[in-house]
Chain A
Amino acid sequence: MDPQVALLLRRLERERLARKQAEKIVEERSRELFEKNRELEKLSSTDPLTGLHNRRHFGASARVEFERVLRFDLKLSAIMMDIDHFKRVNDRFGHAMGDTVLVEVAGACKTGIRVTDLHARYGGEEFCFLLPETGLDGARILAERLRVSVAGLHFTTDSESFSVTASFGVAERLAGENSIEDLLGRSDKALYDAKREGRNRVVTWEAPRPANPQESG
């Protein structure tokens, strides 16, 4: 064989082997990147303490869900929930126990909702759930189930044991309502009423009654 040809063939063979190595390395890096991205996505969408979604992720998913139910004219309900007197838990048993309560309550709620429901730690001790294709009655029943689950949790310190309760505000999307914020706002109002009415209860949002002219007169 011509020495120049043999030389070129050797060079080509080395370059072929190098290319194969490069392809393998790039493939491995791509896989690593994919997994890291997935991990980062999870971290950026999850509340690290409770494992529920964070408010930012909930907001984005809820808006998509809201658009879907609008398009197909489906039912949609929201539950706002707040642990009662949570500050007292922190003050009396310390923040570590407070965190335990948050984790256990979130766990009970996550078990109680359905896989299609959206969940989030909405604030310090406030949680939010969005229930696709669920009317007010279904949402109230689910909230009641969560209320019973939360009240059934028992916490123990070195010297005593205690339990917590939570209040729930429930609202359903009204016909013609075009904003997820309005739905969540009405759930929040119902939650406020649940707190005002004595806590450890589920209150559904009701439209304010028009003033009766006979009563006012």
Chain B
Amino acid sequence: MKGLVFTEFIELVDESFTMETSERMIEMSHLPSGGAYTSVGTYNAQEMITLVSGLSTLTGIPVPDLLKTFGRHLFKRFVSAFPIFFEGIGSAMEFLPRVDDYVHLEVRKLYPDAELPSFSCERPEPGTLVMTYGSKTNLPDLAEGLILGCIDHFGDPVSVKRETGGGNPPETVFTIFPK
């Protein structure tokens, strides 16, 4: 997992809780990297799961809620860090199908070693988008947070329904439909 995701997570914990919470979370996680993350580095995604579990223990907030909140925050950061991906795009329904076909393609050019999730999209009927999330890391809550962050950003009047599909790790199917 790219270091940017880790540095953003620690910043969010600093801002939403305290720096002390961040430090305690890192300390109790006994991470192979020691928690010294740089945005240009690459780290084992398991460290993210360990950190979020630690934060959940410290704050009493369930892991899925923390990941969803982080996903929403991460999307905002992507918007400000990579504005080129959002040029000329007017809605979440327009942006989300481009994640696999365009955004991840460009990310791979920059980081050939990046292990990216897949978001295959289908449009079963006009106005409805079905996104199937698959990832070795399998963090569907984070994926949901990112999708919700995208909807927040563009302000589409849509709802998201989440279901678990097949596969190992299981795929997660997000249906985005008009409210």
Contact = CB atoms under 8 A, between A and B. Distances in A.
Asked if chains A and B come from one complex, the reply is yes
A33 interface: no
Interface in B24-78: 26-27, 34-41
B40 A25 contact: yes
Interface string A133-150: 000000000000000000
Contacts of A22: 38-41
B114 to A, nearest CB: 14
Interface string A3-20: 000010011001101110
Interface of A: 7, 10-11, 14-15, 17-19, 21-22, 25-26, 29
Q: Which among B26, B36, B41 has the highest number of chain A CB atoms within 10 Å?
A: B36
A21 B35 contact: no
Question: Interface centre among B27, B35, B39, B40, by most A CB within 10 Å?
Answer: B40
State the majority secondary structure of interface residues on A: helix
Given A18-B7, A18-B36, 5 more contacts: A14-B34, A17-B34, A21-B36, A25-B40, A25-B41
Contacts of A21: 36, 38, 41
Nearest to A6: B23
A26 B19 contact: no
28 contacts: A7-B19, A7-B20, A7-B23, A10-B27, A11-B19, A11-B23, A14-B26, A14-B34, A14-B35, A14-B36, A15-B36, A17-B34, A17-B36, A18-B7, A18-B37, A18-B38, A18-B41, A21-B36, A21-B38, A22-B38, A22-B39, A22-B40, A22-B41, A25-B38, A25-B40, A25-B41, A26-B40, A29-B40
A14 B34 CA distance: 8
Nearest to A26: B40
B169 to A, nearest CB: 29
Nearest to A16: B36
Identify the 7 closest CB pairs spanning chains A and B, nearest first. A17-B36, A22-B38, A18-B38, A18-B36, A14-B36, A21-B38, A25-B40
